[in-house]
Chain A
């Protein structure tokens, strides 16, 4: 069984009453909720040992900790019956969630720069980025949508751009969905991705029209199908503007799902929901979804990248060798090899965040998350240079004109995406 966490759930009415209070009173009310012995006693009766917050956890296998101010119980037991009984004690008022190791690859070892390192070019010659720049092609007139943790729109790389930004909360009521200036990215992942596509200096296609939707909580790294759908609906609503009606549109998804992170009863929902989304985007609206294939190395590919509607992206280094982490293998949907194409995804320099002195920080990060916005940027350059080329035809053009990489088998698909 292992460990699970129970978080106190307030009813909508309770929540509204709490939110209506001034801050100090609200804190007082929360403090008043702290004394609670009934459930602790019930858990002890089941045979779970109570551990006080400051106490060193005993070696005892069956134990729980109550974090009163946070309204949380942490229950740990390998006895399935005890776990089920504890769940029954807590479930009426607590939201139960598994305590799963995040495994989220935080970029602690990436190089962080307080100033942008000066380089003649941030992208190698074979990418064609410099050639596009010399021809005045920057992706202007192409719409790029990014679903991620948000972006820091005041970072030096992005502050001169007009970015359509939408924050989609967990309960996306019309009042709660906010179209505001981009601010919401304590994670830094979305800012890095966005600046690889369209950063003023480090971006592949700085001229694109950006639509950034924050649909992933930076701290929990959680989202929901509803958030994704509401965000995509917002993006597609831009087609109602005459000026956008025929623009090539590319969707960047530097993310994927792990089936063991999703409730068993939900896996089919998530996969079917994503399939439905992708089908509508591609078939009805001619959008090109560019999606990371994952960081699990050879043998494992991740959804939604392996769906046939997506252009799935693996990572190579600047030496054009496949990155050790870059996923590859057969799509469980089509049986075809993935990824479709590759982008630079090792030690890619891009925007990170701003520090307390408002300096714009940069970081080198690695991952198929970074390779994907590179490919998105290249797709935008190609679409800008070839008006009318979009959707499936744009996808095919990228595959046909990729730089073939010899001797690396199917780890990089058609090869390195490039502007030609």
Chain B
């Protein structure tokens, strides 16, 4: 080795993550290269300074006790009744009325589907993808790059469309794991709003688009030609609807 060692390698060495052969190669290099040796010494010193138990926070006993109460309560299903029983009757009546209204609103809004677990998971995936570095595994605006990229990584081939003419820029694609199976996430963007289009083979027949909202995000899901689709975005519902129509064309 004549040039300097790669910095990833130096760190892997400092962390004891190198295999024996590479570790010996690196040691040979360090014996000759004062710069790299100084880097290693400096990173070791940094590790010693940072890895101190004093910097580790501990959960307080108070928090621990509170958490246990919450978990125990979560374990017993009829939470709502227990909480409400201690309130005066008029409070209880008001709460019941609010609850009925809320449930009514929710049913109207979500088309009376009780199962929101999948939607929650998709929103969580969407949120995670918004971390700058998590958005795409393959970054390209070319549909002919995105589609082959998925091939070999999934047991199905998602349909990837270029919608940039219609104002929805194709950003790239990402592999995801949703609801216990692999999913393709095709990423689009309109203005600053990111749209994740999740898709995987459907278990049921065609279903027309169905809009819901979760934690401030809009979702539209449907089933078409044997594939399940769900578009998730903070984009307003109307524009997300336009997007869905374009995808469905």
Q: Do A and B come from one complex?
A: no
| Residues of A bordering B, CB below 8 Å | none
